[in-house]
Chain A
Amino acid sequence: MRRWAYFGIAIALVAAAPWLIATPYWRGILVLCAMNVLLALGLNLVIGYTGQLNLGQSAFFAIGAYATTILVKTYHWNFWLAAGAAVIGAGVLGLALAAFAVRLRGHYLAIASLGFAVITYQVLVNWESVTEGVRGIYGILPPVPSTVGLYYLIAGIALIVYWLMDNLVRSPVGDTLRAIREDEVSAASLGVKSALWKAFAFSVGAGVAALAGVFYPGFVGTLVPDAFNIIESFTMMAMVIVGGMGTMIGPVIGAVVLTFLPELLRGFGELRLMVYGLALTLVVLFMPGGIVQLAKRK
């Protein structure tokens, strides 16, 4: 019953936010925040619950953005159909990355996933006939004309994804994923087919990242590969870890904090971007459980 109360509060907050933050600029930041929450949730399923060090999420974010935009602009698909195809496509590609995860562990997987992200970025830059490369694609319209509308759309999707994921991790599926995270060998001795569940986690994580990507080009208006550089993977990781890896609310907190903090620090000029790196390093060194850990101690 308490869960319903929390959800109610969350929905109320999400609904009220654009009215508490009334300037167009900050409403735009809200949209960005909602996208970051989705990205963090997707990554958290793979890193936090299944324990797989995945640095390739920027690739799926990019696929969501590019696939949707290209299908709509070049092939005149309906936006929602394109989005669906992009998300499913990303999910399938997530399986490819999972195949690496089955064979590799720890830092090898980190490097492989990073390589995957870089390859995707290079394909976007070089396959100019399809993606326009660094020239970029312009004049992209969002599925919903107003910023507030876009915010409600993405935040609503994020809420639904959160609810579904929360259910999943509380269910035996969550037990299985965490067993793989804690000790794969003894998980196998309990009958867990880790390859299967890794495939599940990676493809869902990829799909959720793509889901965020779907709305990105419409929000910004233009689409260039540089928005999907590998540093995005690192930024996502910072959000998950600073918030609290392996919990559900942690990534949300991390996404909110790391979206708003750089904005609040605008007075410091470009140095404000150091927030990501600083936060991540300090948290890992001194507070590995993230902000959630801080709250628990009280």
Chain B
Amino acid sequence: MSDLAALIAQQSINGVYLGCLYVMVALGLTLIYGVLNQINFAHADFVTVGAFTAFFAATRLGTKMLGLPDAAGYLLSLFFALGIGALLGLAINAAVFAPLRERGDELRPLIATIGVSVLLENAQLALFGPIPYQFDSPFARETIRFGRIFFTGQSVLVVVVSALAIGALYAFMRFSFWGKALRAVAQDRETAGLMGINPGLLIGLTIVIASALAGMAGALLGPVIVLTPFAGASVVVKAFAIVIIGGFGNVQGTIIAGILVGIIEAFTVQYLGSGLIDLVVFVLLLAMLVVRPTGLIAERKEENV
């Protein structure tokens, strides 16, 4: 295999791995937008909380208290992060989205989620401090070699978990009653309500699923990012970029866009260094907003998985 080909292949795999992580975060955002026409600015902070939860679950609970082997501890922490994410979603729905839904005011819930975001960040700052935590995933130590291409166990885990999550989501939305009801509510809330579907319940369910995904994404992201209470800030605008490129509410678009951003990041790191990745992505975001605010893949809006 030539050097260049190996390089491209390596970065592409890295890109897909990163992309899957971002997709997990962005999916939650796009799901919430789909049913509620609202953006949850605190979403990325759910990711951070998920990461910290996973950290403590894996290290304190998993290995120290229960004496589990590292790998099992880490996998356990995924579930904890999922659960915490779901709880956060429940809380924000009950506190912010549900009470403000009838008013039809677009901006108040958005600002309220900004408030929640600041609250969560400062709460975590108070609890955990500003110094980055070292979150080691046991899977990251395993390297698998395929010719000249390396990947870690972690990247395999990430791809597997996200594929499972996305697959489960897809099946849920396509085949289950609740899933179809969700799509109905996303398309036309009033009529769905008239058909006997309780929109409030559906919306709550969506937010819980979305936040659970965010939490779990945090657990998977924890080992990869600089884990501070402000970790969410660096993820949030990237997640927004993905959702905008893919089209708000468009699940397929978000998945494609997420992988795309991951690949762009992987290649940019190679040539420009990590400091400039964020810059590149955000400039792309702004360019996107100027040229096509509805997203690259907006035509597919009708087909929401």
Contacts and interface: CB of A to CB of B under 8 A. Distances in A.
Interface of A: 53, 100, 103-104, 106-108, 110-112, 114-116, 118-119, 122-123, 125-126, 229-231, 234-235, 237-238, 241, 269-271, 273-274, 276-285, 288
B52 interface: no
A276 B244 contact: no
A271 B126 contact: yes
A106 B279 contact: no
Given A114-B237, A115-B237, A281 B115 contact: yes
Nearest to A273: B122
B6 interface: no
A107 B286 CA distance: 14
Interface string B97-138: 001100000111011101111111111011001000000000
A160 to B, nearest CB: 29
B129 to A, nearest CB: 8
Interface of B: 38-39, 95-96, 99-100, 106-108, 110-112, 114-123, 125-126, 129, 230, 233, 237, 240-241, 244, 275-276, 278-279, 282-283, 285-286, 289-290, 293
B279 A237 contact: no
Given A100-B290, A114-B237, A122-B275, A277 B111 contact: no
A104 B240 CA distance: 15
A118 B241 CA distance: 12
A199 to B, nearest CB: 16
A122 B278 contact: yes
Given A112-B285, A122-B279, A273-B125, 11 more contacts: A108-B293, A115-B286, A229-B230, A231-B233, A234-B117, A270-B126, A270-B129, A271-B126, A277-B116, A282-B115, A284-B111
A contacts with B: majority SS: helix
B122 A100 contact: no
A82 B99 CA distance: 49
A284 B108 contact: yes
Contacts of A100: 286, 289-290
A103 B126 CA distance: 40
B113 to A, nearest CB: 8
B233 A119 contact: no
Most buried by B among A112, A118, A230: A118
B115 A278 contact: yes
Contacts of A115: 237, 240-241, 282, 285-286, 289
B114 A237 contact: yes
Given A126-B276, A241-B111, A278-B115, A269 B126 contact: yes
5 contacts: A111-B237, A115-B282, A231-B230, A238-B115, A271-B126
